[in-house]
Structure 1
């Protein structure tokens, strides 16, 4: 039986432009290179954990693809790109196999597939306070007690820590991190690797999160590993997925961006919202620029160009956050995606404003902006915004970061903290980039079009920035999103997403044109570390 359509697989692969990713490792010691090899091995284990987290049948499907005869390289490549059998454009890819749902289960493999939201919420109310925190927290899956199940009867829900659920993989990953810690040159990185190894076995992540934040600016190697993002949990946006990155630090670029870390409170104070929606004690965010060497786990396409971690509100309270900008991935996205999109959709007289520096800086400000605005609801009994907005939190948080980052660019230019790129370059590059990100569900473009900040010419079939009204549209959207988050009004957020989430006719036609022109929607990595260290990836 055919597992897939060859045409579908080819189309998916062609949508992602291959880019070589690596860095000059000539300054690395032999011990550091051995450490990198061990870390890659740990990353392969993290990959297996995430495959398990995405869907309960994912591991078996992956094994079936790997063990198929003859070996199907295209099928494996697509699975590894998507981390499962579903594509955002084509839906279910491996459609001829039985027992694969047409869409990824909303709760991934963090909850029983037959569990409803109502059952979960009713069960949580019966738990002691500490257990309620774990049920709504990052590091426990929800399962059913098998001994309570019977004919026609569902077992009672129960909690299981990640350290038990993924013990078969975490024990070996912990061992590899500990061995790597003895080989790396930088003591602060060594400390993080040791304490993160301990976290895998204890299920306590707070201390190792602080150690990650404290990795020295002098470390040549930057490692991010652990359960972080909650996008795979589309049911409640509370369960974190395992991811893994190895980067080489870009010291000159990191140095030039240090000025942005001190501007976080300045931007916060300027936000177009009442004071109660603003934070008063934001910690300066360390910003580092890196070149990616290897990634695994929760790193399905589209490729991450930057990240601001941790997401755990307790860790942020105690240690702040850290922003990692991935330079070589950004360069690949700009050259292969953004530049050709702009040449197809942007008004010819505004193409001169397209700028890699504007793209790079906006990605940076997008990640910084995750720290801006309310993370707890406003009022006498604050709770996390995440817990109120649940399945809508991730979408509205990404939109917040995108638009607040653009607002921040204008503010920093106005105050002189930023002197370049120009605001015209920011707006035009953002408009072009919107046609890249809208293919993955981020649709602030619709709001700004409705406000007159962007315009469409049906004669030329091209879009342009209305510089006279773009700033007010950006400010209005920033205000709306931040207030919705602070109020924790899930119903209002749903209405907002429903209103602006549909794709307008002219945008849909433009996206179809981009597809017909064969412009990739993102990039896929070719890791050069495999050749450098003679590894099999």
Structure 2
């Protein structure tokens, strides 16, 4: 019997768009106790189990494909699957042909990843799901609309039903739970130990609120920081509801954390100054805890592009109890800036503005992006019990990323004016670095939430005159006397669209602005021709330095 999983030319194209970086390593472990060091290998094993969970969540035939590729002697194909966690790369481009054995197709790979991931039956339609949910009541309805249950179809009756994550992924969650409990007995910080124990219990009970609260209350003095659980819903493009498991292990950067903590206390003030009616503003916001870390290891839903910051949890229930937590991954950000953003800026910006591109402006805007996820309406202004994510459905992720970007940039302007950011980058640096970074995000593809969100921002700001393009030089520039008003206008538009929850208006906005104009296409093609990486991917130092 012959067996082939023939690679196609898109694989080489996809791999060429990423540059390997060394992440973490022994240099970040000097301040750890012996127990912390002993816990690291156990936690890395949890991350590897989460890889297996996410492979299952990504697509119904993904496990079979990964198992097949493991038998092949093809390191490039294995790397592609490692980076993307499935057979589709940027722009959802398929880079593996369907698998054949003995002349028969045994694993059919769709041209594009299924919008429902592997959270729903492969044959489901959104209309069927919504009609089914409408007929449910009580706990059954909560489970069907919740973050932590998959939807199945009864093979005999054809009826839909839910299965808790604790059952669906039991083969991975049970050993992960035991490893987390072992690590909890070793780590030096007791608040981290409490989280590890409660999260281990959540893997079995499928109740995540208390362990989310415990995660939010990990002490800023903990030398290790661990994020482990079902959080992001980007894989569920059908409804943006079901969450994927991700794992991130970090060493705390105490010096940078102290510098950034000052932003947290300004959250309500920034919300109060958002350019919308009070109906669209949240009250009594919990300031997010802010920490800066250096990544040691990651697993699960961590496909490229690499995460450089995150604001969690997304579940509104623990947020109401204990707020949110903003994690800034400094070593990953530094690599992205040096390997990706600066080379892009050199090609797309006018020379006089290139000199204003600055790491601190990039770093602080990423921070403000994550803070801004807490800003604005999370429930509709006229249907107080209905979540924005429920109303916007498949558009929610892109608009939430656009909101965080643009509201964060608007907040930066406010903080510059009141002196909070005195002594750091000026307004020109923030806007010009943001313009260069826009190309970095759009290169992820407009089928991806961050890429679509950035494309909408870019085209809107071009229309408003905040950005300009010179057809002779083929370069872009920030128009300083227009950019601030353009950013303010877009912030208003997006917050109102979210708060009103009118999906048709949201779709119309996305259709109008979620495009790539000819000038931008040409610039992107030039970046590709020059071989400038789209992003970076990790080689973990702790796996090389004898730590694990």
Q: Deviations over 1:126-166 (max 9, x none)?
A: 21132212111100000012342xxxxxx110010000000
Corresponding position of 2:191:
188
2: CA distance between counterparts of 1:112 and 1:218?
45
Aligned equivalent of 1:104:
113
Corresponding position of 2:97: 95
- Deviation at 1:14? 1.9
Given that 2:8 and 2:97 are in contact with CA atoms closer than 8 Å, whether structure 1 keeps it comes out as no
**Residues 410 and 91 of structure 1: CA distance in aligned 2, closer, same or farther (over 3 Å):** same
CA distance in 1, matches of 2:91, 2:197: 41
Aligned pair 1:347/2:356, yes or no?
Answer: no
1:434 to 434, 438, 444: 438
Considering only aligned residues, what root-mean-square deviation do their CA atoms show, in Å?
A: 1.1
SS in 2 for 1:276: helix
| Partner Cα distance (2:6, 2:313) in 1 | 38
For residues 205 and 407 of structure 1, the distance between their equivalents in structure 2, rounded to whole angstroms, comes to 34
Does residue 125 (structure 1) correspond to residue 103 (structure 2)? The answer is no
Residue 529, structure 1, aligned to residue 529, structure 2: no
Does the 8 A contact of 2:18 with 2:533 survive in 1?
A: yes
Report the equivalent of 1:172: 175
Q: Distance in 2 between matches of 1:2 and 1:332?
A: 36
In structure 1, what is the equivalent of residue 32 of structure 2? 28
Residue aligned with 2:227, SS:
strand
Distance (Å, rounded) in 2 between the aligned partners of 1:24 and 1:292: 9
- Cross-structure match for 1:8: 10
Distance across 2 between alignment mates of 1:147 and 1:90: 34
Number of the residue aligned with 1:152? none
* Counterpart among 513, 518, 521 of residue 531 in structure 2: 518
> Which residue in 2 is equivalent to 1:66?
70
Q: d(CA) in 2 for partners of 1:8 and 1:509? A: 20
Give the secondary-structure state (helix, strand or coil) at the position aligned to 1:469: helix
Distance 2:511 2:470 in 1: 26
Shift of 1:33: 1.4
TM-score (norm 2): 0.95
Shift of 1:6: 6.2
- Going from structure 1 to structure 2, the CA distance change for 1:176 and 1:370 (only over 3 Å counts) comes to same
| 2:232 paired with 1:229 | yes
- Number of residue-to-residue matches in the alignment: 527
Question: In the TM superposition, what is the alpha-carbon distance from 1:101 to its structure 2 partner?
Answer: 1.0
Q: Secondary structure at the match of 1:446?
A: helix
1:7, distance to aligned residue in structure 2 (A) = 4.2
Specify every segment of 5 or more residues in structure 1 that has no aligned partner in the other structure, as ranges: 149-154
Checking the alignment, whether the CA contact within 8 Å between 1:51 and 1:58 is kept in structure 2 is: yes
Which whole-Å deviations, capped at 9, do the CAs of 1:383-421 have from their partners, x for residues lacking one? 110110010000000000011111010010011111121
What does residue 79 of structure 1 align with? 81
SS at match of 1:224: strand
Moved more, 373-382 or 163-172: 373-382
Distance in 2, matches of 1:66 and 1:237, equals 31
Shift of 1:273: 0.2
What TM-score do the two structures reach when normalised by structure 1? 0.97
Contact kept in structure 2, 1:4 and 1:93, CA below 8 Å: no
Q: Post-superposition shift, 1:9?
A: 2.6
Q: Who is 1:449 aligned against?
A: 462
Question: Which deviations, in whole Å up to 9, do the C-alpha atoms of 1:466-517 show, x marking residues without a partner?
Answer: 0000001100000000000000111111110110111001000000000001
For the 8 Å contact 1:91–1:102, the answer to whether it is kept is yes
User: 45, 62, 74: which one pairs with 2:49?
Assistant: 45
Contact 1:37 / 1:533 at 8 angstroms: preserved in 2? no
